[in-house]
Structure 1
Amino acid sequence: MSAWAVDRPGPIADGPLVPVTRPVPAPQRHEVLVRVTACGVCRTDLHLCEGDLAPRRRGVVPGHQVVGLVAARGEEVTGLEVAQRVGIAWLRGTCGECRWCRSGAENLCPSSLYTGWDADGGFAEYATVPAAFAYPLPDDVPDPQLAPLLCAGVIGYRSLRRADLPPGGRLGIYGFGSSAHVTAQIALAQGAEVHVMTRSRDAQDLARSLGATWVGDAEETPPVELDSAIVFAPAGTLVPVALAALGRGGTLALAGIHMTTIPALDYDRHLFRERTVRSVTANTRADGAELLRLAAHIPLDIHVTTYPFDSVGRALADLAADRVTGSAVVTL
């Protein structure tokens, strides 16, 4: 099969992602083999290729927003059928026994494994996944619109929950890429007032078209105090900016797996009056299932730019240069 693998991490312009030919993987007893039909392109893939997120093994195939069809099943698999449409997300394995797994916080499992980092992902014609971590998908939504939900959507949804937005509250969103444009629509559907701060003019236009109350530049101060905020951009310099925009008792969620250095915080300006900062570490399977149920009832408008399979590198380069508005998806 054809695939794209990380050879030597470095700037995306230097071509760290290279085409390779490999055997079609055989599913283990508890796994399914998936014929990939689409795979979303995530900023985490970019961090992996460029070395901000160190690859856990050389030659790993990135891609963790995978839509495809079950092509084969391991002998212990039940509940999934050959030719069934499924999704593969970032979290692909946990121990199931530690105190985090037992408490419902499996995303914090010290033994957790990840698609496109520990195991080969969806920038390939085929991928495997443990059946317990595969998501059954509806048949009536096009592949490119489903793929971003499997990371951008579910991480945005978890970030929204971590931001502790009160009913009808004011939410600030910093950065307006794939995850943010899905999260904004969920918050709006729940009755929130959404304020978007982003440097991209195209992203600003998209935010307005989706119903944002106010849109400004990345470090601009919104016209009202915020109840909650989410920083999606991997820029640590935005953390004090977002904290300063929060009102009393406000909560800031940091959505990225990687972020540049956060500047020193001033206690009175950024933290006093019971402001809270929370990070977001992957997602649980329950988060994914809840997001997919929500998506079936909320008319989400997923803005997608599609790329052919032989243009994965171009998709990542466009993402690095902020040339993608909404989500980038590779189709096979």
Structure 2
Amino acid sequence: MTALPSSGTTYAWVVEHPAPIASGPLRRVEREIPEPGPYDLLLGVRACGVCRTDLHLAEGDLPPRRPRCTPGHEIVGDVLAAGPSADGYAPGDRVGAAWLAGTCGRCRWCRAGRENLCPASRYTGWDVHGGFAGHAVVDARYVYRLPEGLPDEDAAPLLCAGIIGYRALERAELPPGGRLGVYGFGASAHLTAQLAVARGAEVHVVTRSAEAQQLALELGAASAGPDSPPRLLDSAILFAPVGTLVPKALEALDRGGTLAIAGIHLTETPPLDYERHLFQERTVRSVAANTRADGRAFLAEAARLRPTVRAVRYSMRHADRALADLASGGVTGVAVLVPP
């Protein structure tokens, strides 16, 4: 194992007790710099994106899987040390760590290339400590090489917002030159819309935020507004974790259309009427995490397209404020934490 450059303590944010974000469930603590295991890398965190999943974890929408866990799964970091089996990485390498932190590699899902469905899958910032910290330990088998020349605060959101959006777009089965509806326009949506436009799609955005509507139009959307799209859609992606939007999105689909629901958490969905919402072969599909193949494919596409990342910078000292702003709708684009 490469020797640690130094020993001592580091700072980290932890979810003390899941609760509404206004009550302060996050707490900043000091802890020992972790030591990497055989397949691990110790990273010095350069930037970490703030995802709505982090908010779900802090507020308890997702039940905690380990006590006092550190959120954050869009990590850009420098390799400081590597375990003896962490092949291919050296101190100073810049890498990215994402939501998927580990799988068993043996189950029928893993063997079929569908590791995102592995029953033993583990996740950064939920099962293992994440990047709202000065240092993070990640499995070298689940990290990504990052495009050269891409600033840290632009690279971080690609690691979840971008990758999950990519998988959601694939699950939506948008035909070439088709019409795509995007419901909600936050971190993931503003990257996915650009990807769809670059592929030749006609994108229609539904969001209540006037600032997000303006951003959508700047990024190439054909329309952006608070109500239903002006034309029937071939495909749609629901990014907003709002179950009442499911029937509305289905009503906007043309025959044979597909709705992909991208979030890990969704509020209660109203009853669906078969003839109004599902008949004529309309389809609803969920999106469960991602595979490493998704991550590699998206980052290669992003390296070519260089999508605009609307990053809102926060000091790592203010991770709690970033989550609070996200909860209140005060972030247009994506919040990114950077070291103080």
Q: TM-score, normalised on structure 2?
A: 0.96
- Choose the corresponding residue for 1:222, options 221, 229, 254: 229
Out of 7, 12, 18, which is 2:21 matched to? 12
Structure 1 stretches lacking a partner, 5+ long: none
What per-residue deviation string (whole Å, max 9, x for no partner) do you get for residues 202-258 of structure 1?
A: 1001001111101110xx221111000000000000000000000000000000000
Is 2:202 the counterpart of 1:193? Answer: yes
Amino acid at match of 2:141: A
CA distance in 2, matches of 1:139, 1:60: 31
How far apart in 2 are the matches of 1:42 and 1:327?
A: 8
- Pick from 4, 20, 34 the counterpart of residue 25 of structure 1: 34
- Are positions 1:320 and 2:327 aligned together? yes
2:313 alignment partner, SS class: strand
> What letter corresponds to residue 247 of structure 2 in structure 1?
P
Alignment partner of 1:270: what SS? helix
Amino acid paired to 1:280: V
What's 2:105 paired with?
96
CA–CA distance in structure 1, aligned partners of residues 288 and 317 of structure 2: 31
Secondary structure of 2:81's aligned partner: strand
Counterpart CA distance in 1 for 2:27 and 2:337 is 15
Query: Letter of the aligned partner of 1:247 in structure 2?
Result: D
- 1:172 matches 2:181: yes
Amino acid paired to 1:2: Y
1:296, 1:222 → 2: CA distance? 31
Return the match for 2:303 from 271, 283, 296.
296
- Cα deviation for residue 308 of structure 1 reads 0.4
For 2:119, the equivalent position in structure 1 comes to 110
Correspondent of 2:141 among 113, 132, 142: 132
| RMSD after superposition | 0.6
* Native 8 Å contact 2:147 2:299 kept in 1: no
Matched, 1:64 2:73: yes
1:85–1:138: 8 Å Cα contact kept in structure 2?
no
How many angstroms apart in 1 are the aligned matches of 2:316 and 2:140?
25
Q: Does 1:250 align with 2:257?
A: yes
Aligned residue in 1 for 2:161: 152
Question: 1:138 Cα shift?
Answer: 2.8
Among candidates 266, 280, 283, match of residue 287 of structure 2: 280
- In terms of mean alpha carbon deviation, does 138-147 or 304-313 score higher? 138-147
Match of 2:218 among 209, 221, 225: 209
User: Hey, what's the Cα distance between the residues in 2 that align with 1:82 and 1:319?
Assistant: 34
* Paired amino acid for 2:245: L
Taking the aligned partners of 1:277 and 1:138, their CA distance within structure 2 comes to: 34
Which residue of structure 2 aligns with residue 87 of structure 1?
A: 96
Within the candidate set 39, 43, 59, 1:50 is matched to 59
Gaps of 5+ in 2: 1-9
Using the alignment, how far apart are the partners of 2:36 and 2:145 within structure 1?
18
- Return the alpha-carbon distance in structure 2 between the equivalents of residues 203 and 55 of structure 1: 31
> CA offset at residue 107 of structure 1?
0.3
Distance apart, 1:100 and its partner CA: 0.4
2 CA distance for matches of 1:150 and 1:314? 22
Displacement after TM superposition at 1:179 (Å): 0.1
Distance 2:281 2:89 in 1: 47
Aligned to 1:241: 248
Matched, 1:41 2:41: no
Structure 1 runs (4+) greater than 6 angstroms displaced: none
C-alpha contact (below 8 Å) 1:85/1:139 kept by paired residues: no
In 2, Cα distance between equivalents of 1:180 and 1:303? 11
Superimposed CA distance per residue, residues 140-187 of structure 1 (whole angstroms, 9 cap, x where no aligned partner): 110000000000000000000000000000000000000000000000
Q: Does structure 1 retain, via aligned residues, the 8 Å contact 2:236–2:249?
A: yes
State the shift of 1:76 in Å. Answer: 1.2
Which of 276, 299, 305 aligns to 1:269? It is 276
Per-residue CA deviation, residues 4-53 of structure 1 (Å, 9 max, x unaligned), is: 00000001011000001110110001111111010000000000000001
What letter corresponds to residue 79 of structure 2 in structure 1?
A: V
* Distance in structure 2 (CA, Å) of the matches to 1:32 and 1:244: 47
Of all paired residues, the percent bearing the same amino acid is 61
Is contact 1:232–1:255 with CA below 8 Å preserved after alignment?
yes
